[in-house]
Amino acid sequence: MQIYLPIAEVSVNAFLLLGLGGLIGVLSGLFGVGGGFLMTPLLFFIGIPPSVAVATGANQIVASSFSAVLAHLRRKTVDLRMGTVLLAGGLFGAGIGVQVFARLKAMGQVDLLVTLFYVVFLGAVGGLMFIESLRALRRARSPGGPVPKRKRHNWVHNLPLKMKFRTSGMYISVIPPFFIGAGVGVLSAIMGVGGGFIMVPAMIYLLGMPTKVVIGTSLFQIIFVTAFSTLMHAITTQSVDVVLAVMLILGGVLGAQIGSRMGTNLKAEQLRILLAMLVLLVCGKLALDLLLQPSELYSIGVSE
C-alpha cells in the first residue's frame, strides 16, 4: 500500500514505514537509545531526502523515548535533577545545530555533509561497541578473570559549581553534564539523532553515574531535545513531513514496548555485539553509496 509523503515528495510503502518505526522502537526498548542513528540512514535507503529524514526522524525518537521513559519513571531510575542540567545544555546545543543546518541547506551541501557525518560517527561508534562487546564476551566466558572497575573520581569531580544529585548519589560540577548535553543537542539538530549512543557512555565513564539510572535519565533528556529540534526545523527549514512522522511514531511506540520486554530475556553482551554489527553494516552501505556512481547523475530542483 503506497502512501504519498508531501514534504519528501515521494511515494513509499506504508507497511515498510511502520516496520522501520517498529524496528527502531524495539532497539530503543532494548538499549535505551533513541534509535535515530539507525532510523535516519535507513530513511535515506528508501528514498527519503536526507534533509527531510533528519528533521522528521526526531519525531519518532520523541515517541519511542517517551514510551520507554514512562517505564523508568515507575522504577524510579530517572535522575530528574541531572536530566534537567543535561536538558539545559541540550536545548542550547540544538539551537546552534539548527542554525548550522539551515546555513548548510541554503548552501546546498546539507545532503552530502549529513551522509559524511553518519559514515564517520557510525564507523567510530560501531567499531568501539564491537571491540567492547568482544571483551565483555571474553570476560563472561572466563569468570575467574579480573573485573575492570569504573573509576569513580577523576578531573570532572574537581571542577567548580558543584551540585548534589541524590538519585545518582553524586556531588559533582554542573559544567561537564551541561557540555555533554550541548554536544548531544548539536548532533540531534544536524543528524536527526537522540544522541543516546554518545550520552550513555559519557554519563557512565566520564561522570561516573550508576548504570541503573543512566538509561532513564538519558531518555528523559532525549525527549525534550529532539522535540525542540523538530520544532526549530519546522520553523526554520520546513523539512518536517507530518505523514512520515505519524507512520514512524505508530510503529515506534509498539516496538518500544516489545523491546523492553525482550530485554529481560536476552544477554546484554550478545545484544550489544548484534547492535554493533548492524551499525557497521549501515555505515558500510552509506560509505558505498558515497563512492559509487549514482544511477541518476543529474537532478532537477526548484531554486528557493
Q: Is the distance from CB of 62 to CB of 200 less than 8 angstroms?
A: no
**Which of 80-84, 150-154, 216-220, 255-259 is the least confident region?**
150-154
At residue 302 the predicted structure's pLDDT band, cuts being 50, 70 and 90, is: very low
At residue 16 the predicted structure's pLDDT band, cuts being 50, 70 and 90, is: confident
Q: Give pLDDT tens digits for 290-300.
A: 787 655 555 55
Residues contacting residue 68 through CB under 8 Å, at least 6 positions apart: 28, 29, 32, 219, 256, 259, 260
Cell 545532503 found at: 111
Q: What's the whole-number mean pLDDT along residues 69-97?
A: 83
The predicted structure's pLDDT at residue 112: 77
The predicted structure's pLDDT at residue 106: 80
The predicted structure's pLDDT at residue 273: 76
In order, the DSSP letters of 280-297 are HHHHHHHHHHHHSPPS-S
Q: Give pLDDT tens digits for 252-281.
A: 777 777 776 766 566 666 667 777 787 788
Rg (CA), the chain: 19
**Greater model confidence, 208 or 123:** 123
**Which of 143-152, 245-254, 290-299 is the least confident region?**
143-152
Mapped onto helix, strand or coil, the DSSP state of residue 163 is strand
Mapped onto helix, strand or coil, the DSSP state of residue 37 is helix
Does the pLDDT at position 159 exceed 80? Answer: no
According to DSSP, the residues that pair with 13 across neighbouring strands are: 2
**Which of 114-118, 132-136, 193-197 is the least confident region?**
193-197
The predicted structure's pLDDT at residue 103: 83
> Distance (Å, rounded) from C-alpha 173 to C-alpha 110?
36
pTM here? 0.67
The predicted structure's pLDDT at residue 303: 47
Mark residue 9 as left, alpha or beta (left: phi above 0; alpha: psi -120 to 50; beta: remaining): left
Pairing relationship of beta strands 10-13 and 2-5 according to DSSP bridges:
antiparallel
**Greater model confidence, 166 or 127:** 127
Q: Give pLDDT tens digits for 34-69.
A: 667 777 778 888 888 877 887 787 777 777 677 778
The predicted structure's pLDDT at residue 235: 81
Nearest to 255 by CA among 24, 35, 34: 24
Does the pLDDT at position 99 exceed 60? Answer: yes
Rounded to 5°, angle at Cα 270 from 267 and 275: 120
The predicted structure's pLDDT at residue 304: 47
Q: Give pLDDT tens digits for 213-243.
A: 877 788 888 888 878 877 877 887 777 788 8
The predicted structure's pLDDT at residue 208: 75
Cell 541547506 found at: 105
> Distance (Å, rounded) from C-alpha 101 to C-alpha 265?
41
Mapped onto helix, strand or coil, the DSSP state of residue 170 is strand
State phi, psi for 168 to the nearest 5 degrees. Answer: -85, -10
Average pLDDT, the chain: 76
> Distance (Å, rounded) from C-alpha 198 to C-alpha 218?
10
Does the pLDDT at position 251 exceed 70? Answer: yes
